[in-house]
C-alpha cells in the first residue's frame, strides 16, 4: 500500500532519492518481522515518516523547477550532433560500455545513426536518431490513416469482463454469439479476447491441460 501511495512507477523510472527511500522502507518493514521483541508500531512510524518525506519531496518537485533541479539534477547531453560529449560522460561517471549497451537495448547498433542522446536524471538514455535513420511514417508518405484507439479486453483468463462490454455498448449475449460463430461454446476456454475500435475481434484459446 505504501508503494502504491508513492506513485505508479517502475524501478527504472525512480529518481535516486526515491530509490533510496524505497530501499529504506523495505528494510524498516523487515525489522519487526526479524526481531519479535519489537512492536509492529516501531516499524510503522518510520515507514510513514519516510512516506511523508517522499510525498513532500515529490510535491515540491512538481511545484518548483528549481527545487527539482537541485534534488534530481538535469539531463546530460551525452551525444550532440553525432559527437560523443566526453566531458559529460566523465562528469556522470558514465562508461562507454554503458552507452553502447543502452544504445543496443533501443535498437541502435551503430553510433553513426544517433544525432542526440540524453542521459536522463533516472539513468535512462533517450535517443534521437538522425533524420535519415528514422522509421518512415504514413505522414512522410502523405497517406491517410484511420483513427485507432485502445483495444478493449472482453475476456481475461476465461472470465468475461462485463464492465468493459457495457462501456463500449456491447452485451454478454453478443459476445457469446460471436464466440459460437467461431466454434467456441464455453468462454471459460478462452485465454484472452479483445476488440479494437474497428470492431475486429481477437481471441486465443487456453492450451489443453
pTM above 0.85, yes or no: no
- pLDDT tens, residue by residue, 154-179: 999 999 999 999 999 999 999 999 99
pLDDT (mean) for 177-185: 95
In the chain, the domains with their CATH numbers are 2-71 (no CATH), 76-133 (3.30.240.20), 152-205 (3.30.240.20)
Residue 16 pLDDT greater than 80, yes or no: no
pLDDT band, very low/low/confident/very high, at 19 (cuts 50, 70, 90): low
Residue 15 pLDDT greater than 70, yes or no: no
Residue 9 pLDDT greater than 60, yes or no: no
Closest CA to 121 of 51, 18, 21, 23: 18
pLDDT at position 32 is 65
Amino acid at each position: 500500500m505504501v508503494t502504491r501511495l508513492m506513485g505508479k512507477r517502475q524501478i527504472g523510472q525512480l529518481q535516486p532519492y526515491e530509490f533510496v527511500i524505497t530501499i529504506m522502507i523495505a528494510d524498516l518493514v523487515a525489522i519487526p518481522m526479524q526481531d519479535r521483541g519489537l512492536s509492529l508500531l516501531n516499524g510503522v512510524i518510520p515507514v510513514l515518516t519516510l512516506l511523508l518525506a517522499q510525498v513532500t519531496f515529490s510535491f515540491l518537485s512538481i511545484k518548483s523547477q528549481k527545487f527539482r533541479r537541485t534534488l534530481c539534477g538535469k539531463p546530460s547531453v551525452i551525444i550532440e550532433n553525432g559527437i560523443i560529449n566526453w566531458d559529460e560522460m566523465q562528469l556522470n561517471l558514465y562508461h562507454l560500455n554503458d552507452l553502447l549497451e543502452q544504445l543496443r537495448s533501443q535498437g541502435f547498433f551503430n553510433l553513426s545513426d544517433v544525432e542526440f542522446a540524453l542521459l536522463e536524471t533516472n539513468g535512462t538514455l533517450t535517443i534521437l536518431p538522425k533524420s535519415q535513420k528514422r522509421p518512415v511514417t504514413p505522414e512522410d508518405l502523405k497517406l491517410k490513416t484511420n483513427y485507432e484507439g485502445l483495444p478493449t479486453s472482453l475476456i481475461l483468463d476465461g472470465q468475461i469482463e462485463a464492465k468493459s462490454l457495457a462501456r463500449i455498448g456491447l452485451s454478454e449475449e453478443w459476445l457469446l454469439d460471436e464466440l459460437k460463430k467461431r466454434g467456441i461454446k464455453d468462454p471459460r476456454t478462452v485465454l484472452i479476447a479483445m476488440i479494437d475500435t474497428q470492431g475486429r475481434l481477437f481471441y486465443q484459446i487456453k492450451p489443453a491441460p
